Structure 1
Amino acid sequence: MKYLVFLGTVRDSSPPKPPRLGERVAKACVHYLEKTFADADVELIDPLDYQFDQIFKPYFAYHQNEAPEALKSLAEKIDQADAYVMVSPEYNHSMSPALSNLLNHFGASLYSYKPSAIVTYSAGQWGGARAAVNMRTFLGELGCLPVSAMIHVPKAQNVFEESGKFAPTVNDVDDWVGYFGRTLKQLYWWSQAAQAQRKAHDPRRLAKDFKRDPSQRNAPGKDKS
């Protein structure tokens, strides 16, 4: 079972303090999946490793074999994955623009028929929960429907060390492990079910993928105005 954990920040300096707070949360998700599920192959996707052209050009807009190597490599990873964990801070009650920018480079044909999990965090008390609201619709449009449970981590700097391990001052580690498990165990169950169903019945024989032209998903009829 292949899992991609997407880190939704490109900040690499202070403020905020500590810098790259989301990296701790993303690594915690990686640790949980690897420790809990023996068949889990987990990779952390850091947007700092994928600095594409400033002028936005999605993967499907390139002609065959013309896309940058980093873009092709990430497209293959997304296509081969069985599930996704999306880790985001909150920007103006919305998800991270760094995360949405990275995910938007690829069409729903790569993400679809696989589950996702929403994980948000903050340095303050809300844990990024408001960002999670619009992440549901965003991920639904990509086709990687999020599981019902979500993870919100307030004051994440007090919960995790830079390594993603729990800070020594955390007294309720078992509670945190159970809290992460409620979401990530749902993700594991759905990823197994979806993988088995994809093997049994090719979903793309039932519904054609939206590839390049928005007209492919238009309602029937012509505009006669």
Structure 2
Amino acid sequence: MLRLNVIIASTRPGRVGSAVGTWFYELARHHGNFDARWVDLADFNLPVFDEPYHPRQQNYQHEHTKRWAASVAEADAYVLVVPEYNFGPTPALLNALNYVYHEWNYKPAAFVSYGGISGGMRSVEATKPTLTTLKMMPLIEQVAVPMVQEQLEDGTFKAKDVQEKSAIAMLDELKRWADALKPMRG
């Protein structure tokens, strides 16, 4: 079974990414096509990139990098649960993406984005060029959650029907791409 890392991309105290991510993670677990894993960037505590060697060399010196590289390498696909910070991605996400290189190659990524009126979509579009540079395939299918605060009840995210349907369509497409790209990594 394909492994899917659901990556919570905000590390900010008081974030709502955990609530949105929990909803999506449970949906992905029950989807049936993936071994879904919860990956919270906050758990890795990655400092601003501090490796002495270029990530392409995979000569990692720090334990935090080795743990992160192993987590990324084990996955066949990713869903990035992302907010929007000043029309862009979180610094924690960009830092985590840049920590490793080969571990990302030839794998698909999709997004569950949230925020204000744009639903985090500007963050998604700003992240996609980084993904393609890492030889990843960012999908068009995604889930957007505009005005996320309106869908939170006592710290729990309550998805709308359109978000549930979008998530299922995204997971179906993510499986197609993960299957198609897997031979390229062999």
Question: What TM-score, normalized to structure 2?
Answer: 0.85
Match of 1:158 in 2: 150
Amino acid of the structure 2 residue aligned with 1:187? L
For the Cα contact (< 8 Å) 1:58–1:104, is it kept in 2? no
Q: How does 1:108-187 map to 2 (within 5 A)?
A: 109-122=102-115, 124-160=116-152, 166=158, 173-187=160-174
1:60 and 1:43 map into 2 onto residues whose CA distance is: 29
AA paired with 1:103?
A: L
Distance 1:189 1:135, change over 3 A: same
Q: Pick the aligned partner of 2:35 from 17, 41, 52.
A: 41
Map residues 193-208 of structure 1 onto 2, 5 A cutoff.
193-195=180-182, 197-198=183-184, 202=186
Matched residues in 2 for 1:59 and 1:44: separation?
Answer: 29
Shift of 1:59: 8.0
The 8 Å contact of residues 111 and 124 in structure 2, kept in 1 or not, is answered as yes
Higher strand share: 2
Of the candidates 69, 72, 77, which is equivalent to residue 78 of structure 1? 72
- Consecutive unaligned residues of structure 2, counting only runs of 5 or more, are none
Separation (CA, whole Å) in 2 of partners of 1:106 and 1:191? 19
C-alpha distance in 1, partners of 2:114/2:65? 27
1:24, 1:162 within 8 Å by CA — same for their partners in 2?
A: no
* TM-score after normalising by structure 1: 0.72
Contact 1:24/1:161 (<8 A) preserved: no
Decide whether the 8 Å contact of 2:114 with 2:120 is kept in 1.
yes
Q: Percent identity?
A: 28
Rounded Cα–Cα distance in structure 1 between residues aligned with 2:137 and 2:18: 23
**Counterparts of 1:76 and 1:23, CA distance in 2:** 22
**Following TM superposition, by how much is the alpha carbon of 1:158 offset from its aligned partner in structure 2, in angstroms?**
2.9
CA RMSD of aligned residues (A): 2.5
The structural deviation recorded for 1:98 is 1.3
- Which is greater in Rg? 1
Matches of 1:182 and 1:121 in 2, distance apart? Answer: 18
Aligned residue number for residue 4 of structure 2: 3
Deviation by residue 1:45-92 (Cα, 9 ceiling, x = unmatched)? 2122112345x2248548987623232122112112100111211122
Q: Does 1:100 align with 2:101?
A: no
Q: Is the Cα–Cα contact under 8 Å of residues 60 and 66 in structure 2 kept in the other structure?
A: no
Aligned equivalent of 1:206: none
After superposition, the C-alpha distances for 1:107-150 in whole angstroms (9 at most, x for unaligned) are 1x11111111022101x222111112112211111111111212
Distance 2:65 2:22 in 1: 23
Closer, same or farther in 2 for the Cα pair 1:157/1:141, shift >3 Å? same
